[in-house]
Structure 1
Amino acid sequence: MTDSAVSSESSRQPGKPDKAPPGLWARSRVVLRKTLTVYLVVVILLAFLQRSLLYHPSKTKDLSVAQYPDVTKLYPDAQDARIECGDGVTIGGWLLRQNKDEKSNLVIHFHGNAGDRARRVSWYQILQQLDVDVLAVDYHGYADSGGKATEDTLELDAQATWKYATDKLGYSPDNIIVTGTSLGGAMAVYLTARQCEAKQPPAGMATIATFSSMVDTAGYHYPWLPVGAILVDRYPSDDRIANITCPVLLLHGNQDTVVPQNLGEKLFKAAPAISNSGHRKRWVNLRGAGHNDVIHVGRREILSELAAFQAKVIPAVPNKP
């Protein structure tokens, strides 16, 4: 062994690894910078595109109910509704009645984030068996409604729908049940909480496959994104539901992978245990039901639960306006 080799060996400190070549650290920094750059670009891109990912409206501009025999067969006295919102935008809707001369309660229904009111026939079939009238609307930017969908404009839709039902159509709040599926459930929570705070609550509220908040839902689907920092439309239903004083019914499929059941349970836990009228909140687990098939898989149980809920919160049948 040469003297230089001995010197090299003796210069190494026991227990410490050899230093990495300078080129390796340089390459690692380059890879890290590129990875962070790509991540930031993706975050910025999703921040700009978030509303196009959240709202999926149909572009159908002529939704006259007379064109939908599956609906008019269920509700022979079905009528088109044009509802003006607080920002001057008009949204489209249907007032579904089986017979204008009969007595009935009213269900205000808000659909999910995709399509339009014409694609909810399965839901109308369930409600038809409850002998209720139905007011179904499309949000800003959906189908034949003007404007653009945002959380703020959807809130205007909910407010205008309530005003239309009570002021123009003459339904009493005591004979109205507010319902919604998925994103529509968030609107049902918003409207019901708003009316409870105004001391004009509906008879009750029922939601299906609804989330605790959009922040929670987005965080579930994109755990690697800082959704709490970039999300614009947040729909904080778990905060709002605490202000609801009327009876509530929440139904959720236990196979839901779009809005997982634990987010529905979180919303339920945030609701007051007992309404001002003394009714306990109710949670229904729809076994075997996912998100998009919840109405079909859970049809029988949904009908049974809604019928019992209506009988509980509106024991007397009103005079129809």
Structure 2
Amino acid sequence: MWFIKIALVLVVVFGAVLLLLSFMQTRMLFPAYLVAPPPELPPSAVALDVETGAGEHLYGVHIPPAPSHSGERVVLLGFGGNAWNAACMAVLLHRLFPDRDVVTFHYRGYRPSTGRPSAAALLADAPILYDDVIDRLGPAQVVAVGYSIGTGVAAELASRRPLAGVILVSPFDNLEALAREHFPWAPVGLLLRHQMPAADAIRGATTPVAIIAAENDRIIPPRRTEAFRTAAANLVFDRTIPNVGHNDLYQTPAFEAAMTEALTRILEAGTQVTASQVAGTDATDAAALSSRGC
């Protein structure tokens, strides 16, 4: 009978592990308690406060471009990783693109923003933040930039608002598939309460997509990025940085070069669309004038 007792102990232990995993999943996916203190912001930075429909407040930062910048206003709306401080992302994007407006927000439940974090909350808040950017800054174009879990937020936003493009660093196809990668022994489908189907969101979108990935990513394995890649109908840039992982990707010159090229490709794609629309309008007008004998 000893083997029956051992089996029962193993079953109880396994059940306890699953129970703990289910209970801890929100803290594991959204570790707001691990976020580092914000860095020093440039003097031009402006604090933002947006109230959601649920009565929560999302706090963020806007870093405007250099005063010498001229041309149409392009806003980079950033969505960071699950342990990122919004100010850190704002500083990084401003360093990469000093001639663009940068706007980032602390996710719901990430102090000083109020509420509790969840996949549903992040996805619901993104369009609210986009609408605030449009009302506040009146940009010609908005490009969403997502890092890690923020790529799922940016991809979903592309299906709900007119973006000039999305730059996705370390994207994944969906949160459930990613969870299965890390917990193949667990019934993820039964336990996971947070859904973020990024590939499904981008599959029906015509938004230009730029992908930047790390060759040795162990957090978001390349096969999860590949599954997202195949769903992107309008992929205008795709770069995998060799010999780096999920976290050291950001410290490489190759990453900075890829980010710069990604934004260039996205804005060029928008210009080509505009040019083709103008050409189509001109042809239509010419045909109408010809029909009238002009």
In the superposition, relative to structure 1, how do residues 84 and 59 fare at CA in structure 2: closer, same or farther (>3 Å)? Answer: farther
Partners in 2 of 1:44 and 1:254 — Cα distance? 34
Number of the residue aligned with 2:22 = 47
TM-score by length of 1: 0.77
The 3-state SS of whatever aligns with 1:176 is strand
Match of 1:57 in 2: 32
Write the distance in 1 (CA, Å) between the matches of 2:221 and 2:5: 39
Q: What is the CA–CA distance in structure 2 between the aligned matches of 1:188 and 1:300, rounded to whole Å?
A: 20
2:186 is equivalent to residue 186 of structure 1: no
Partners of 1:251 and 1:39 in 2: how far apart? 38
Distance in 1 of aligned mates of 2:92 and 2:48: 20
In the alignment, which residue of structure 1 is the partner of 2:128?
160
The 1-side partners of 2:36 and 2:180 are apart by 34
Q: Which aligned pairs between 1:277-292 and structure 2 lie closer than 5 A?
A: 280-292=235-247
Question: Could you give the per-residue CA deviations for residues 94-152 of structure 1, whole angstroms, max 9, x where no partner exists?
Answer: 11102468443111110000031123333431122xx2111111110112101110112
Contact 2:76 2:102 in 1 (8 A): yes
State the 1:157 CA deviation: 2.1
- Kept in 1, the 8 Å contact 2:209–2:266? The answer is no
Q: Does 1:89 align with 2:56?
A: yes
Distance 1:80 1:169, change over 3 A: same
User: What's the CA shift for 1:313?
Assistant: 3.2
1:231-287 Cα offsets, whole Å, 9 max, x none, are: 011211121111211111111101111111111111011122x4xxxxx44321111
Amino acid at match of 1:218: A
Q: Give the structure 2 partner of residue 303 of structure 1.
A: 259
Matching residue's letter, 1:300: E
SS in 2 for 1:185: helix
Q: Give the distance between the partners of 1:62 and 1:226, measured in 2 at CA.
A: 36
Aligned-partner residue type, residue 289 of structure 1: V
Q: Is the 8 A contact 1:91 1:137 kept in 2?
A: yes
Amino acid at match of 1:186: G
Instruction: Note if contact 1:182-1:208 (Cα within 8 Å) is conserved in structure 2.
Output: yes
Q: Residue 138 of structure 2: which of 153, 156, 170 is its match?
A: 170
Larger displacement relative to structure 2 (100-109 or 259-268): 100-109
Aligned equivalents of 2:92 and 2:244: distance in 1?
15
1:144 aligns with 2:112: yes
CA contact (8 A) 2:146 2:169 kept: yes
Distance 1:123 1:77 in 2: 14
Q: 1:191 to 1:83 in 2, by over 3 A?
A: same
Q: 2:221 aligns with which of 260, 263, 266?
A: 260
Consecutive unaligned residues in structure 2, runs of 5 or more: 273-294
Cα shift at 1:59: 7.9
The one-letter amino acid paired with 1:161 is: L
Q: Does 1:126 align with 2:96?
A: yes
Aligned to 1:208: 169
Gaps of at least 5 residues in structure 1 are: 1-25, 196-200, 275-279, 317-321
Inter-partner Cα distance in structure 1 for 2:178 and 2:36: 30
CA RMSD of aligned residues (A): 2.2
C-alpha distance in 2, partners of 1:62/1:191?
27
Q: State the distance in 2 between where 1:287 and 1:61 align.
A: 27
Q: How big is each residue's C-alpha offset from its partner over 1:180-202, in whole Å with a ceiling of 9 and x where there is no partner? A: 0001111000111122xxxxx21
- How many residues matched? 268
Give the number of the structure whose alpha-carbon radius of gyration is greater. 1
Q: Distance in 2 between matches of 1:182 and 1:58?
A: 18
Matched, 1:221 2:182: yes
- Superposed CA offset, 1:2-24 (max 9, x none): xxxxxxxxxxxxxxxxxxxxxxx
- What's the % identity of the aligned pairs? 25
CA shift, 1:58, in A, is 4.8
Q: Structure 1 residues 193 and 222, CA, compared in 2 at 3 Å: closer, same or farther?
A: same
